């Protein structure tokens, strides 16, 4: 167990050192697709203070820790590497799961946000004021980005820059469309923005209702597939707890069995998720 405590101490020292460095500002354009996609997932999961690099480092740390612990328990390096890879996927899987749950909840709230904006515009409010009102009267889960928009606008008065920051904090395709519609209205004017927002609100309500019904019907299939993918590895963990069973995987044949099982699990799970995945909007108006 000396190696385990040494690894824990090293990870703790690294996290202490890392905490002294400021996180990079969000909302900057550019960067790789992976970086942008991961940043959006972190924002949607409510972990906007975490950077994609931090997520990778955490995943690597979890994988190494699981590998060392598994090696000390089973004494089999191939099995330890397998469980290390599984553990390394854990932080990303947690972020994705939280982002999906929050997206499902926020999807039900966007029509209320759009209605609040339309009401403010119909009442004759200026666009910055109407957007700021969402932070006071909008749904609780979506108030914070609009409260920060109001603070940014009071501090700088730069409407376009504040809209860019609002889009980055929302990290949502619907939010992108709403923000760009408001930006266009600010730049060229127009009297149809209220009608456009009301039509968008009705569309979002219908989409959320239909998508919720489909997800409820297919949830048992997805859960069954996840259980089927995890069951062989849970069984392997139980068998590997006994040293005699674990030693059988130290041979070349054992490594091939583990590799073939890992590839089969990943391919089958990805195919199942792709077959049952609903089409989701992507952010094209960053």
pLDDT for 75? 82
| Domain residue ranges of the chain, discontinuous segments joined by + | 110-208
Mean pLDDT by 10 residues, the chain (286 residues): 60 64 44 78 83 91 91 86 90 89 84 85 83 86 89 88 88 82 72 74 83 77 80 86 76 86 87 72 63
166 and 184 Cβ atoms separated by less than 8 Å: no
Total Cβ atoms within 10 A of residue 156 = 11
Angle at 146 between CA 143 and CA 152, to 5 degrees: 140
pLDDT for 192? 67
What is the value of pTM for the model shown? 0.71
CB within 8 Å of 59: residues ≥ 6 apart: 88, 89, 90, 91, 92
Angle at 281 between CA 275 and CA 282, to 5 degrees: 105
Task: Record the tokens describing residue 63, joined without a space.
Answer: 């994988």
């Amino acid at each position: 167990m000396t190696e385990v405590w040494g690894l824990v101490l090293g990870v703790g020292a690294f996290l202490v050192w890392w905490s002294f460095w400021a996180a990079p500002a969000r909302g900057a354009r550019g960067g790789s697709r992976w970086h942008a996609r991961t940043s959006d997932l972190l924002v949607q999961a409510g972990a906007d203070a975490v950077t994609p690099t931090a997520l990778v480092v955490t995943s690597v740390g979890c994988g190494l820790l699981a590998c060392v612990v598994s090696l000390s328990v089973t004494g089999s390096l191939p099995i330890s590497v397998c469980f290390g890879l599984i553990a390394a996927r854990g932080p990303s899987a947690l972020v994705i799961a939280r982002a999906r749950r929050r997206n499902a909840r926020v999807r039900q709230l966007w029509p209320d946000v759009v209605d609040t904006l339309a009401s403010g515009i119909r009442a004759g409010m200026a666009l910055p004021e109407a957007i700021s009102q969402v932070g006071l009267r909008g749904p609780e889960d979506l108030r914070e980005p609009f409260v920060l928009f109001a603070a940014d606008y009071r501090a700088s008065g730069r409407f376009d820059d504040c809209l860019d920051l609002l889009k980055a904090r929302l990290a949502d395709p619907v939010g992108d469309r709403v923000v760009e519609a408001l930006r266009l209205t600010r730049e060229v004017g127009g009297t149809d923005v209220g009608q456009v927002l009301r039509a968008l609100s009705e569309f979002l309500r219908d989409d959320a209702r239909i998508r919720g019904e489909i997800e409820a019907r297919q949830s048992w299939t997805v859960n069954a597939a996840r259980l089927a993918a995890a069951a062989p590895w849970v069984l392997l963990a139980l068998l590997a707890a006994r040293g005699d069973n674990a030693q059988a995987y130290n041979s070349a044949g054992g490594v091939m069995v583990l590799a073939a099982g890992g590839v089969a699990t990943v391919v089958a799970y990805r195919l199942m998720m792709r077959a049952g995945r609903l089409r989701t909007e992507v952010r094209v108006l960053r």
